[in-house]
Structures are given as C-alpha cells and as structure tokens.
C-alpha cells in the first residue's frame, strides 16, 4: 500500500502541476477530499474547489515545476518534501506579473483512501514566494 500511495503522490505533482493535466485532479482527489493550508480563508473541498486554485496558480506561474525531493509513506499517509520553481508571468493571483523567478519549498502530508487523496495538509513557503515576486 505504501508504494502505491507514493506512486499516487508522484503522479499528482507531475501531472497536476508539471503537466497541467486538470483531468488528473478528478482521478486523484476524492470528491469529498479536503486540502488544508493552500488558501488563507478556508480549506479546499473536493476537485471542484481545487481546480480554480490550480488554474490561478498555473496562470501566475505557467512554467511551474514541482520536484519531489523526499517521499515517505506509512499506512495511509504520504509525506512529500518538494521544491517549487517557476517564473511569475501571469496576473492570476490578483497582482500584476513581476516576471520574477521563484524558488521555494514545501511539505505535504496526504491521507490516501480508496486510491485518492482524502485529506492533505500543505505547508509551502508562500511567504518566500511572495517576497520573490515583490508582494512583500
């Protein structure tokens, strides 16, 4: 089970983020799945809620690359330590494109249930990202 869960997480980052395959969100994120830590105001609930977040982020960073540096799995949980790189060339996050490069890290802890992400806790260094694009 742990190896299958690791493969699911690798596929998530590669297809959803690196390849922009939006259809993979429906395949890998449970209909009642919950994503914590991606927005300031509330968790993301299900694929329908996640897709606008992914579209806005990919719109701001169309060349985004997420590299999984470490992957640990035990039982129904997977932990991925990631490096994120890209260039802020889109206005999709409510601010003008800065054309600045970003390079920041993050960690995701995901609970997998029935072959899908049921819940995920995201800890990305959005403070560093915002400094790099000139928001802060």
DSSP H helices, 61-114, are none
How far is it, in rounded angstroms, from Cα 132 to Cα 128?
A: 6
pLDDT per residue as tens digits for the range 66-113: 999 999 999 999 999 999 999 999 998 888 999 999 999 999 999 999
DSSP H helices, the chain, are 2-11, 23-28, 46-60, 126-132
Domain positions in the chain are 2-132
Q: Would you state the pLDDT for residue 94?
A: 85
Are the C-beta atoms of residues 33 and 43 closer than 8 Å to each other?
Answer: no
* Architecture of the structural domain at 2-132: Roll (3.10)
């Amino acid at each position: 089970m742990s190896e299958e869960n690791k493969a699911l997480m690798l596929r998530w980052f590669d297809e959803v983020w690196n390849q922009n395959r939006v259809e993979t969100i429906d395949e890998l994120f449970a209909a009642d799945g919950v994503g914590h830590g991606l927005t300031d105001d509330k968790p993301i609930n299900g694929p329908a809620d996640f897709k606008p977040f992914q579209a806005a982020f990919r719109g701001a960073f169309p060349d985004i690359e997420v590299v999984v540096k470490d992957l640990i799995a035990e039982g129904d949980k997977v932990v991925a330590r990631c490096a994120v790189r890209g260039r802020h060339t889109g206005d999709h996050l409510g601010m003008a494109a800065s054309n600045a490069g970003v390079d920041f890290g993050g960690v995701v802890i995901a609970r997998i249930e029935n072959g899908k992400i049921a819940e995920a806790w995201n800890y990305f260094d959005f403070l560093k990202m915002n400094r790099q694009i000139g928001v802060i």
